[in-house]
Structure 1
Amino acid sequence: MEGKSYQRFPKVKIREMKDDYLKFELRDTDASMANALRRVMIAEVPTIAIDLVEIEVNSSVLNDEFIAHRLGLIPLTSDRAMSMRFSRDCDACDGDGQCEFCSVEFLLRAKCISDQTLDVTSKDLYTADHTVVPIDFSDPAGDESGDQRGIIIVKLRRGQELRLRAIARKGIGKDHAKWSPAATVTFMYEPDIRINEELMETLSLEEKRSWVESSPTKVFDIDEETHQVYVCDAEAYTYDDEAIKKAEAVGKPGLVDITAKEDSFIFTVESTGAIKASQLVLNAIEILKQKLDAVRPSEDTEEADDQFGELGAHMRGG
């Protein structure tokens, strides 16, 4: 029998959005969609990272491999990563780094000539391509100290020197964590908490306070005037069942009913800074569409475009 696809139209509601942080609700879908989106954000959205390091001079205390590894982990602005080619697929170069389609070249020249220790940081990496540069984590309102220096690569003492050439390429987190644009991506089922008001009123004020305090996170509270227990922060619930166990311990099973909404998820996305958190989600949706187009029968691709196009439109509209 020919199968018929089940069409869904997920909805997104933005809770909080910063350049490196995004919190949003994903509704009217299931865990497979939520987890697919999460895994694509972590391991499939491409960024640009240093992949090849040619060290000319290194008289620092760190060996060549250590420095090359540290360079690879420096986040680079990757707004054009989606349009770049993977070096393995590029037919316009020989992989030496002189290719505008698949790679970006960096140079670092540092030598300590004073008695003061010299900090070699990500700000000492120079490139002619200003669209791909190390992330600047400095605070515009801050002073010249602290996080204004950039990411420290190595420290040099008097007479020590570091000279190198580095090639940055496009890649994905599945190949190496340095290409992952996500510091963390988590989602939780939205909890549905219902208090049995009639049963609650059979408790004394002290019993109510004891029950409220049984939850390790502040999910419940008491109105000081009416002495009524209410849910103050449902999302703080960690599915620990402590409130349910406490209700059973005082002989009031059914005092509260807590279930997980199976079609509603709360996402928290933190970016490394390579791309904005909001763009990370949009890129993940686009990649998920491409993956589905590759496995769906041709007559179903238009339906997939409708569903994910709707989701992307919600994201762009905020």
Structure 2
Amino acid sequence: MADITSRRLVKLYKEHISDVSSTDYPGVYPGEDNSWDLEDFKEVSQKFICMDDQRANSGILQHLKIDFQYVTDERIEFDLVGVDASIANAFRRILIAEVPTIAIERVYVYNNTSVINDEVLSHRLGLVPLHINPRIMDDAPTDYQTNSTDRNTIVFTLDVECTNRSNVKAGETDPEKLYVNSNVFAESIVWVPQGEQGSLFASDPPRAVNPKILLAKLRPGQEIHLEMHAVKSIGRDHTKFSPVATATYRLMPHIQLLKSGDRYDEANRRVEKLEMRNQEMAEKFRDAFGEGVIEVKKERGKYFVKVKDPRRDNVTRRVLELPEFEDMVKLGRVRDWFIFSVESVGQYPAPELLPVSVSVLRGKIRNLKADVERLKREWEGSVDANRLERERDVDMEG
């Protein structure tokens, strides 16, 4: 954090925020030429367009300076450094709305005598996350009645009936002990292989991500019999296809300790640790921030405070309201350092979501490049046609 220059900071004060951006020319810094340059654009674009996915993904991740902080199958937290908000927001929107998954799209109800209406039950089934690798499936058919195949549609059934249990103790009131199938869970969704799907998914059969998702409650005499068709799509079509529960980012907090001195000479006042008068004052300074942000150290009988982990700070600016710490600390956020937090719904392991989103972004760039080249060819063709027409007119005049 020591190399964070003033130009990279959004500055926070007691009652206002400054240096968010220029109102006239956002992002422009004095003495800097930010005009668009074709060669710079080619260089940046080439980092996204490579011959194979492995080279492309590794090249982009290196170029974007991505640092993973926390990784599990359910959640990842990583830092995206050195980019502006448009790039960060592009990844967030791709994660939410453009990474393909498979979800239940059509429900054919043969019998439903539960208290849940057919349309409500169908909606609940559509929101059940499915453990299916979308990479090996084709996109949803445009006409499902004639174009559905084993490569674009996966079939499930749900057949449950509630009955009384035998040998129940007198006075029992627990529905789970009184009835069979009193609660219908996602584990009751059964995959029905179609065509070559039996061998295609032999090692990892399609199923609900969480088998204990409650779908409905039944009582004796009630039953549900239906068939479901799952297809591949993206969150932009419907939220049920979104692979993330949350995909958020925030700017990295920046905390600068300042020793007493000339308030206009901030560069010479910056310190890594700040001496406090006593232990009580040091602990009060520490408690003004979030837990684990500030560390109190005792050296040779003196108490010092030091910034331990700024990323844990929630930037409440509480320390700026305490008069005893006036002009001893400056708060800010690094405008090009984004802390991402992504939680997977379960269709993808969380660590795979970022490479997949990079691949989606590469596809967008390839499509844009193809469109630009097509427009260039059309323009050059029209120019050549006009030139030939002018030359023909000259020959006729001669």
Identity of aligned residues (%): 29
Match for residue 113 of structure 2?
59
Match for residue 261 of structure 1?
334
Q: How many Å separate the matches in 1 of 2:276 and 2:351?
A: 48
Distance 1:89 1:46, change over 3 A: farther
For structure 1, the residue ranges without an aligned partner over 5 or more in a row are 138-148, 301-318
1:111 is aligned, of 152, 156, 161, to 161
Distance 1:235 1:202, change over 3 A: closer
Distance 1:38 1:207, change over 3 A: same
Q: How many Å separate the matches in 2 of 1:19 and 1:59?
A: 38
Per-residue CA deviations over 1:85-120 (Å, capped at 9, x if unaligned) read: 232288xx715xx51222111111111122434122
1:41 is aligned, of 80, 92, 95, to 95
Distance 1:283 1:82, change over 3 A: farther
Distance 1:202 1:53, change over 3 A: closer
Matched, 1:179 2:179: no
Is the 2:153–2:231 Cα contact (8 Å) retained in structure 1? yes
2:190 is aligned, of 115, 118, 126, to 126
Post-superposition shift, 1:237?
A: 1.3
Q: How many Å separate the matches in 1 of 2:225 and 2:118?
A: 11
Instruction: Look up the equivalent residue of 1:195 and give its one-letter code.
Output: L
Further displaced range: 212-221 or 267-276:
212-221
Match for residue 271 of structure 1?
344
Is the 1:121–1:153 Cα contact (8 Å) retained in structure 2? yes
Q: How many Å separate the matches in 1 of 2:257 and 2:104?
A: 54
Q: How many Å separate the matches in 1 of 2:205 and 2:126?
A: 14
Distance 1:82 1:264, change over 3 A: farther
Is the 1:26–1:266 Cα contact (8 Å) retained in structure 2? yes
Q: How many Å separate the matches in 1 of 2:367 and 2:337?
A: 27
Q: How many Å separate the matches in 1 of 2:188 and 2:146?
A: 27
Match for residue 315 of structure 1?
none
Match for residue 215 of structure 1?
289
Post-superposition shift, 1:167?
A: 0.6
Post-superposition shift, 1:45?
A: 0.5
Question: How many matched pairs?
Answer: 282
1:188 is aligned, of 244, 250, 262, to 250
For structure 2, the residue ranges without an aligned partner over 5 or more in a row are 1-34, 45-62, 166-177, 262-273, 374-398
Match for residue 17 of structure 2?
none
Matched, 1:289 2:362: yes
Matched, 1:74 2:128: yes
Q: How many Å separate the matches in 1 of 2:220 and 2:132?
A: 35
Per-residue CA deviations over 1:20-75 (Å, capped at 9, x if unaligned) read: 21112222222211111011001111110001001001011111011101100110
Secondary structure of 2:338's counterpart equals: strand
Is the 2:161–2:222 Cα contact (8 Å) retained in structure 1? yes
Instruction: Look up the equivalent residue of 2:213 and give its one-letter code.
Output: I
Match for residue 319 of structure 2?
243
User: What TM-score do you get using the length of structure 2 for normalisation?
Assistant: 0.64
Per-residue CA deviations over 1:185-233 (Å, capped at 9, x if unaligned) read: 1112222322124574364443332222222544213114541101122
Distance 1:198 1:57, change over 3 A: same
Secondary structure of 1:284's counterpart equals: helix
Q: How many Å separate the matches in 1 of 2:311 and 2:364?
A: 32
1:87 is aligned, of 124, 131, 141, to 141
Post-superposition shift, 1:258?
A: 2.5
Q: How many Å separate the matches in 2 of 1:205 and 1:100?
A: 70
Post-superposition shift, 1:76?
A: 0.6
Is the 1:76–1:132 Cα contact (8 Å) retained in structure 2? no
Instruction: Look up the equivalent residue of 2:352 and give its one-letter code.
Output: Q
Post-superposition shift, 1:257?
A: 2.2
Match for residue 16 of structure 1?
70
Is the 2:137–2:232 Cα contact (8 Å) retained in structure 1? no
Q: How many Å separate the matches in 2 of 1:110 and 1:205?
A: 66
Report the aligned-residue RMSD: 2.6
Distance 1:202 1:292, change over 3 A: same
Further displaced range: 152-161 or 64-73:
152-161
Q: How many Å separate the matches in 2 of 1:245 and 1:297?
A: 56
Post-superposition shift, 1:242?
A: 1.7
Post-superposition shift, 1:298?
A: 7.2
Secondary structure of 2:66's counterpart equals: strand
Q: How many Å separate the matches in 1 of 2:242 and 2:135?
A: 12
